[in-house]
Chains A and B, each alone.
Chain A
Amino acid sequence: DTTVKQNPRYKLARVGKPVNLICSQTMNHDTMYWYQKKPNQAPKLLLFYYDKILNREADTFEKFQSSRPNNSFCSLYIGSAGLEYSAMYLCASSSPGGFEQYFGPGTRLTVL
C-alpha cells in the first residue's frame, strides 16, 4: 500500500481560530513533509520530519507547528488562522535515499 492519507479533505476555519491537519502513511517512511499550494504557485515546502527531527523553513518558522507522535502520523498545526492561510495543504512521505515522494490527496483549507 503506497497511499498517504490526509484528514480532513476540506476544512473551513474562522480567522483567529486554530487548525489541525492530519496525515498518515503505512509505508514506514522515515521522512514526512508538509507543503502549501496556492493557485498559480509552486508547492511550497513548510516543514519536514526526518524520523523525529523537525525541520522548518525559515520563512514559515513561526506560522506552522507540527508533531509526529509515531512513524505513521504527522500533523500540521496553525495556532491562529489568517486569510492568507487559505490554500491546499499537501502531505508527502519518502524513504531513505528514495528521492521519490508519495503525496496524499491534500486538504483544502478555507479561512473566513
Chain B
Amino acid sequence: GDSVTQTEGPVTLSEGTSLTVNCSYETKQYPTLFWYVQYPGEGPQLLFKVPKANEKGSNRGFEATYNKEATSFHLQKASVQESDSAVYYCALSEGSGTYQRFGTGTKLQVVP
C-alpha cells in the first residue's frame, strides 16, 4: 500500500537558519503530494500541493519539488522564523483524491 516517511522530530533551529524536512513516499500510482502545517491548538492546514511530477510548490517561503524519480518531496525554507514553529505533515493522494495518506509529522521549534 501507500506510505509516507518523513524526518523524525522534534527539530530545533535558530531563527535565520535553513530548514529541510525530508519526505519519501511509496505508491503504485501517480500521486498528488502535499505539505500541511499544524499550529498549536489548530488542525492541519494546507501549506501547498503539487499534482505533477518535477514541479515545485511553494507558500510562505516554504517550497518542495515533486521528484518522481527519487520518490521524494522534501520541504525547504531558506530562513526560518519563530512563527514557523509548528508540526509539518507530508501527505499523498491518489486518483480521485478521496483520501490522503499522511506521514507522522515533524515538529519544528524555532528559537530566537
A90 on interface, CB distance cutoff 8 Å: yes
A to B contact number (C-beta, < 8 Å): 53
Most buried by B among A35, A40, A45, A101: A101
Q: Is the CB of A105 within 8 A of B41?
A: yes
Q: Is the CB of A43 within 8 A of B41?
A: no
Q: Name the segment of B11-19, B55-63, B72-80, B101-109 touching the other chain.
A: B101-109
Enumerate chain A residues within 8 angstroms of B105, measured Cβ to Cβ: 42
B100 on interface, CB distance cutoff 8 Å: yes
Name the residue on B nearest A33 (C-beta): B99
B69 on interface, CB distance cutoff 8 Å: no
Given known pairs A33-B99, A41-B104, A42-B103, the reply for A99 and B93 (CB within 8 Å) is yes
CB distance from B98 to the nearest CB of A (A): 7
Enumerate chain B residues within 8 angstroms of A40, measured Cβ to Cβ: 104
Q: Is the CB of B99 within 8 A of A103?
A: no
A69 on interface, CB distance cutoff 8 Å: no
CB distance from A33 to the nearest CB of B (A): 7
The complex places the Cα of A92 from the Cα of B100 at a distance, in Å, of 11
CB distance from B37 to the nearest CB of A (A): 11
The complex places the Cα of A43 from the Cα of B38 at a distance, in Å, of 12
Enumerate chain A residues within 8 angstroms of B32, measured Cβ to Cβ: 99
Given known pairs A40-B104, A41-B104, A98-B97, the reply for A106 and B46 (CB within 8 Å) is no
Q: Is the CB of A90 within 8 A of B98?
A: no
Given known pairs A97-B97, A98-B97, A99-B32, the reply for A42 and B102 (CB within 8 Å) is yes
Measured CB to CB, the residues of B under 8 A from A are 4, 32, 34, 38, 41-46, 49, 51, 89, 93, 96-105
4 A-B pairs with the lowest CB-CB distances in the bound complex, closest first: A103-B43, A99-B97, A42-B102, A42-B104
